[in-house]
Structure 1
Amino acid sequence: MKILQVAYPFEPVSTASAGGTEQILALLDRELTALGHKSVVLARAGSRVAGRLVPSAPANADFETSCRAHETALKRLLAREHFDLIHDQGSGIRHWPGGPPVLSTLHLTRSLLGEAPALGPGRHYNLVSRSQRAQYADHVAAWAWPVVPNGIDLHRFRPGGRRADFALCIGRVCPEKGFHHAVAATRAAGLPLVIAGKVYRFDSHVRYFDAAIRPHLGRGVTFIDSPTAALKRELLRRARCVLIPSEVEETSSLVAMEAAACGTPVICFRRGALPEVVVDGKTGFVAEDGIAMANALARLGEIDGNACRRHAQQHFSSQRMAMDYLSLYRALAN
Structure 2
Amino acid sequence: MRIAQVAPLYESVPPKLYGGTERVVSYLTEELVNMGYEVILFASGDSQTKARLVPICPRALRLDKNCRDSLIWHLYMLEEVFKNAKLFDIIHFHIEYLHLPLAARYNISFITTLHGRLDLPEYVPFFKKFRDLPFISISYSQRKGLPWLNWQANVYHGLPKDLYKFYPEKGKYLAFLGRISPEKRPDRAIEIAEKFGMELKIAAKVDKADEVYFKEVIKPMLKNPWVEFIGEIGEKEKNEFLGNAYALVFPIDWPEPFGLVMIESLACGTPVVAWNCGSVPEIIKDGKTGFIVDSIDSAIYALDKVAYLNRYDCRREFEERFTARRMAEEYLHIYQKIAKKEILLKAV
Q: TM-score, normalised by structure 1?
A: 0.92
1:102 aligns with 2:107: no
Paired residue secondary structure (1:298): helix
**Structure-2 change in CA distance of 1:82 and 1:302 (3 Å):** same
| Conserved 8 A contact 1:130-1:273 | yes
| Conserved 8 A contact 1:56-1:73 | yes
Aligned to 2:218: 213
Aligned to 2:150: 141
1:130 aligns with 2:140: yes
| Conserved 8 A contact 1:152-1:254 | no
**Aligned partners of 1:319 and 1:4: how far apart in 2?**
18
| Greater RCO (Cα-Cα under 8 Å, separation 6 or more) | 2
Aligned to 2:178: 171
| Conserved 8 A contact 1:278-1:284 | yes
Aligned to 1:314: 320
Q: 1:295 aligns with which of 301, 309, 313?
A: 301
| Conserved 8 A contact 1:109-1:251 | yes
**Aligned partners of 2:162 and 2:272: how far apart in 1?**
20
1:2 aligns with 2:2: yes
Structure 2: gaps of 5 or more residues: 341-348
Q: 2:236 aligns with which of 223, 226, 230?
A: 230
1:111 aligns with 2:97: no
Shift of 1:196: 0.3
**Aligned partners of 1:9 and 1:112: how far apart in 2?**
23
Aligned to 1:75: 79
Which amino acid letter does the alignment assign opposite residue 254 of structure 2? V
1:255 aligns with 2:255: no
**Aligned partners of 1:252 and 1:113: how far apart in 2?**
20
Paired residue secondary structure (2:154): coil
| Conserved 8 A contact 1:167-1:192 | yes
| Conserved 8 A contact 2:166-2:269 | yes
Paired residue secondary structure (2:254): coil
Shift of 1:162: 5.2
Aligned to 2:58: 58
**Aligned partners of 1:90 and 1:242: how far apart in 2?**
29
Aligned-residue Cα RMSD (Å) equals: 2.0
**Aligned partners of 1:109 and 1:76: how far apart in 2?**
27
What is the aligned length?
328
**Aligned partners of 1:169 and 1:225: how far apart in 2?**
11
Aligned to 2:291: 285
**Structure-2 change in CA distance of 1:220 and 1:308 (3 Å):** same
Structure 1: gaps of 5 or more residues: none
Greater alpha carbon shift after TM alignment, 27-36 vs 119-128: 119-128
Paired residue secondary structure (1:175): coil
| Conserved 8 A contact 2:135-2:153 | no
Which amino acid letter does the alignment assign opposite residue 215 of structure 1? P
Greater alpha carbon shift after TM alignment, 39-48 vs 266-275: 39-48
Aligned to 2:201: 194
**Aligned partners of 2:128 and 2:53: how far apart in 1?**
28
| Conserved 8 A contact 1:45-1:57 | yes
**Aligned partners of 1:53 and 1:231: how far apart in 2?**
26
Q: TM-score, normalised by structure 2?
A: 0.89
Which amino acid letter does the alignment assign opposite residue 106 of structure 2? G
1:93 aligns with 2:99: yes
